[in-house]
A and B are shown apart, each in its own frame.
Chain A
């Protein structure tokens, strides 16, 4: 049996397939089924704390709206016994119960865009038993005034704040939309990120032509989506202290293997587990093991085997790949000019 144990964020994983943040981990039972399905670690669904705070605000306003306006009805709701409003309480409870229920590391995921209450929440996640924290710094496109520099600084500031608050490892899940995503990765690495997760997906809305409406919705990723992340992982491999997690576009064991070859420490997936069930993780893990065995490679040997060599100039390497891709396209589709 091939040894698939992996170090991710300093955590010892039994294999490099990780369940990424997604709807399957919303309950203790869900988390348990993921762990039972064979993954090496579970990232919980994201805690959208800011959104929860906004909802709480809206609720508070609603509660006030009709109070004290009629002699017969000073209010419309009883004071229900509750602790100080705690947007994260449900999530913390899940962390606590899920961490105790599984024997693989449980990574909590914090999603947001501003500094807000990250540090306090991160500390509470650590106390609740999270093995690590994944920061999903999620800027919804729309603010046209914010400069690229400011976006980068915000990432670094959030990372520094959270790192300063907790002793457990912290990974950053980032988007590919930086002017220089590689440089950003290096800066996050230098700022102490224990891992980088490449990349998150903006769940972009679509347009319904019949109803003339903008429809929000989630689509599952497909293998073609993996190419962007793989490209950057192959570039960054060997340049970072931080672990690298690949996410997006995993459907079969082949996709896992490709990420490993590009240099990923772990490979994350939600889409394939939604499509085929949590037990599919074991198929991915076994597929990886079989492939390694067939090729006579160890996991550590395979990892980064096809990354851009550390000594090579990445831009030249990329350009080479680009030129050869164009050449291939020409031969397939005819001249592109």
Chain B
């Protein structure tokens, strides 16, 4: 009896891959990470493969490394596999050629994803797999969760039979993250699919000193070519062998697959060719059109390489005269996309060779890039296009292309779904558990043998206050609908703030049932709804139910966690199960989820489920009683045009409707757009106590979201201040007539509370308060007026600000603001500081990761501009190359600075102001005031150039900005700096060039969900280190110091902000490579990150994170360049670690091992400290000299 399960595509593929492999060499990359994580967890749980062995799972430093390790293991005879996507797959290409060239059996499981081009995208299409089609690997495609499971098995058997490596791929997110009902293959079945003799044959080809041979030779013109032709037969045989494996699979399981499958009318005149999940959107269209008398069909390509020519020609009915080939990829400049080209060449040859009578009119179209929806309505448009008198030879579908007019029109109202399927949509916030509860709901319903279920979850791009939309389907028939729900029968809105901003009835139909979590009660709720929503409710006859789930949750002791309450309401209203049975199953699901964690959580959720329905009410809908509320506009009226017309549409959730012409051609977007998106994600916000505040600037320094801004101004400048604008006399000697304001940007505040923790003031009469506190936001409008007024006060003159103190920096304008990072993020305060100190002359190279996502993910981005229009210029290249990318920026800046200086000197006479020229050329540009003066001089120079002409003048004009010292920053996380970009970081540090590398060290891959890096400390639990990390954290600082020419600092803002500031300024001032390693607390550490600063303090004071600086300039001057900035450890390591889940988890799971690792880690800390103390007490001559120095 096979096990029916509801899992996602990643698990479906990994479940097979793991069980038939001996080695998985892995590296995290979205959307494939889950496959690797599962394999790692299974291995940690000692789950055996079908051969009775527990597979080894090893995390590598990059996908290139994973492929290399895989290649080696294959040469060693082990059954090896890997999981990847997108850029990761690209990094495997060199090895793929090798592995294929050596006829080596292996499978790459790929959750196919877009590539970084004009922008990065984590979502699904076939660009990555199409980029490896030339390497010699086979490409086998799955279209659904079940197929991802089955085709994984077929891939592993076929690779052993054919000796050709196989890329088994399925659509990223759409299949990899879709939950669907499927049947699992048993171990016995897998053993029959992968016969032992094949494994032995594979092993017999391994390198062995007992039977030595050499493989991987270098070949010469005499034989390379012929050798390349030796494997031709393997490729010729492969399609037949694979088809044969599919046939055997069908005999075993009853599930039959073909290399190419045709569905539709046997005498079709029109047909579509497609690969991947898109087939499931086309099938219902084919069925309905044929039922209505048309003759259409669809050809699904499963095997793409080697291209199954014979099977293709066999499958395509000879009657087809019009054929559309759909490619989920783009190859700019090609005569067509890859699948289209393959099809046309096959058909052309077939006709030319007489195998086929007529060449159908064949057109090629692109669809579904970056998980763009591909629906039956769009498929219908393709068939319609084929019926046109002269179909467009090239087209796109799913977008509106108003530039090259390639896009097909389609009717989004067309509905091809099974009427017996219940469709439901739920709106939630990331932190509220809606998605988790919906996953449980799917499992509850899908666990009945007669019910099929599907779930797909859409998240927005912010990491704090993010919105989730869950798309669920249930029904008596298998659900094959790889697209979002529309015309939903049930809509749940789990947060009131969502319906104020977004049209949640977008997916409604007549008679939809709507469940609102409303704090307003059944009587008042109607009057609080926006008018457009009220009208839709009346028009469509929507039935509305209301519950104050927050109230029920609080009563049950669940805080703000409302998910199980709303889940209960869904079951009660929708009637998908009898009530009693539903409640019983919800409770069982809760028990299953939490029993291992906490009995209290189980009990409280059970109580909440029991009390939910008493608070559920149907809301009366008046016919003609409209409120005066509209939807809250996403951006203010005064925003720039681009923001109003483009950004705002994305914010409304209507980015899909933006035409091609609306978007930049080269991925260039305006800076500083987060300020227009007032997200209001927190009900509690910071509140400044003007009377108690000592104006130290600590709170503004640590604020991760730049919502605390300080200004000082003449006392008489605020005569017209509105009520609610707070002000205090400036706390500084000699400026009696000056006042000070610390303004809270309440609409951007996330309520993280780091400011409160950083505040040193405890008012004597209120010991539990600080000079800044969190408080409910009661009068938003009043606060907005205060912010507007504050904005009207000029920013403090940079030349008069003391850059050297934390107190001084609060007066520097942040040019990194309101990012979508996690509330309380430990990384962003460093970036904000960077932007305050150097932002008006900085270029930033940002490695892919958290900082590139909150730093550069659309719709709105946080890197901003000042009133003069200056600000950080930011770009992201890749994950692995960021140090090199930044170095390139430096080299360009140096070249253009040289050019500018040369031209300036040449044009001295024409400019006619020797003093200005001399001053520009000789300006020291170290202090803030000197830089302000230099900017002023360069502006004067530009004005002078206005009146001049000639090639030299144009040259100078184009590079004059480089006369202001350019500050080049290379920013990224530890995954980049310690692992994938390690060699680049090393090389750039060794280059001697003036770049500043900032490592935001969270000691884990934060962005992809907490995988271990070489920065992860000994004993910490992380993904890929489930049993606790077993190696010591790499000391990047000592590595960098060994060059002698690198400025190095290790900082932790929460422990010593002044040292952080000093390090940033010294690093930037140092004329050579600098490295700052910044402790960044992170949600992946597992504690309430409101305590992040305290944890930083503990990290430093336990010796885990010794603060230090290494300044080669001091060495040149004859001093000890190594400065140990933190005191001797006064806490044990355990006192630091005990607050964090990453350590506690192991203590709970394996206390003996946890104790052993803690002892080892403590020992390591003690040793490290002794080493550092020794360094701090050395003489200058005991350190390597900076070879570039003339001192």
Contacts and interface: CB of A to CB of B under 8 A. Distances in A.
Nearest to B30: A72
Interface stretch (A52-60, A246-254, A260-268, A278-286): A52-60
B431 interface: yes
A74 B1009 contact: yes
Interface stretch (B40-48, B157-165, B248-256): B40-48
Given A53-B600, A62-B1141, A68-B433, 16 more contacts: A59-B598, A61-B561, A63-B1086, A67-B433, A67-B436, A68-B436, A68-B468, A70-B463, A71-B31, A72-B33, A73-B1007, A77-B1023, A77-B1141, A78-B41, A80-B1027, A81-B46
B1021 A71 contact: no
Nearest to B459: A71
A60 B466 CA distance: 21
Looking at A60, A61, A62, A76, the one whose CB has the most chain B CB atoms below 10 A away is A76
A316 interface: no
Contact of B44 (A65, A67, A68, A80): A80
B892 interface: no
B1096 interface: no
Contacts of B122: 71-72
A83 B1151 CA distance: 13
7 contacts: A57-B598, A69-B466, A77-B1084, A78-B44, A78-B1023, A80-B44, A80-B1026
Contacts of A90: 1151
Contacts of A212: 762, 764, 767
B457 A84 contact: no
A85 B595 CA distance: 7
A94 B1122 CA distance: 47
In the A-B complex, the 5 residue pairs with the smallest Cβ-Cβ separation, listed nearest first, are: A69-B430, A73-B1009, A60-B597, A68-B435, A57-B600
Interface in B726-753: none
Nearest to A73: B1009
Given A69-B430, A69-B459, A62 B1010 contact: no
B37 interface: yes
Contact of A53 (B433, B598, B1006, B1151): B598
B599 to A, nearest CB: 6
B286 interface: no
B1006 to A, nearest CB: 8
Contacts of B1145: 77, 80
B1149 interface: yes
A228 to B, nearest CB: 33
A61 B601 contact: yes
B466 A70 contact: yes
B431 A69 contact: yes
Contact of B1021 (A62, A75, A80): A80
Nearest to B1023: A78
B767 A63 contact: no
B1010 A73 contact: yes
Contacts of B1148: 80, 82, 85
A283 to B, nearest CB: 32
B1088 interface: yes
A66 interface: yes
Looking at B439, B764, B1145, the one whose CB has the most chain A CB atoms below 10 A away is B1145
Interface string B581-602: 0000000000000111111110
Contacts of A68: 430, 433-436, 439, 457, 468
A81 B597 contact: no
Interface in A11-63: 53-54, 56-57, 59-63
Contacts of B1023: 77-78
B431 A65 contact: yes
B1088 A213 contact: no
Interface in B33-58: 33-34, 37, 40-41, 44-46
A80 B1028 CA distance: 10
B45 A81 contact: yes
A147 interface: no
Interface residues of B, number: 68
B601 A76 contact: no
A96 to B, nearest CB: 14
A77 B632 CA distance: 37
A61 B553 CA distance: 14
B472 to A, nearest CB: 14
A215 interface: no
B431 to A, nearest CB: 6
B1142 interface: yes
A81 B44 contact: yes
Contacts of B1088: 62
A206 interface: no
A168 to B, nearest CB: 25
A169 to B, nearest CB: 28
Contact of A66 (B31, B459, B599, B1083): B1083
Interface in B1122-1158: 1141-1142, 1144-1146, 1148-1149, 1151
A64 interface: yes
Interface in B387-436: 429-431, 433-436
A59 B767 contact: no
Contacts of A81: 44-46, 1026, 1149
A57 B463 CA distance: 24
B596 A83 contact: yes
A82 B430 contact: no
A80 B1149 contact: yes
A77 B1021 contact: yes
B173 A71 contact: yes
A179 interface: no
Looking at A65, A78, A213, the one whose CB has the most chain B CB atoms below 10 A away is A78
A73 B1022 CA distance: 13
Contacts of B762: 212
Given A72-B1009, A212-B762, A79 B30 contact: no
B48 to A, nearest CB: 14
B1022 A85 contact: no
Contact of B767 (A56, A83, A213): A213
B1087 interface: yes
Looking at A59, A65, A66, the one whose CB has the most chain B CB atoms below 10 A away is A66
B468 A69 contact: yes
Contacts of B37: 78
B447 interface: no
Contacts of A117: 599
A212 to B, nearest CB: 5
Given A62-B1087, A68-B457, A78 B40 contact: yes
Given A78-B40, A212-B762, A56 B598 contact: yes
Nearest to B435: A68
A71 B439 CA distance: 15
B1008 interface: yes
A56 B600 contact: yes
B590 to A, nearest CB: 11
Looking at B41, B44, B1009, B1083, the one whose CB has the most chain A CB atoms below 10 A away is B1009
Interface in A190-245: 212-213
Interface in B439-469: 439, 457-459, 461, 463, 466, 468
Interface in B1071-1095: 1083-1084, 1086-1088
Contacts of B1027: 80
B822 interface: yes
A212 B177 CA distance: 53
Nearest to B432: A69
B1146 A80 contact: yes
Nearest to B10: A74
Contacts of A64: 433, 436, 561
Contacts of B561: 61, 64
A101 to B, nearest CB: 16
A17 to B, nearest CB: 31
A197 B1084 CA distance: 46
A28 to B, nearest CB: 12
B1087 A60 contact: no
Nearest to B1005: A73
B976 to A, nearest CB: 15
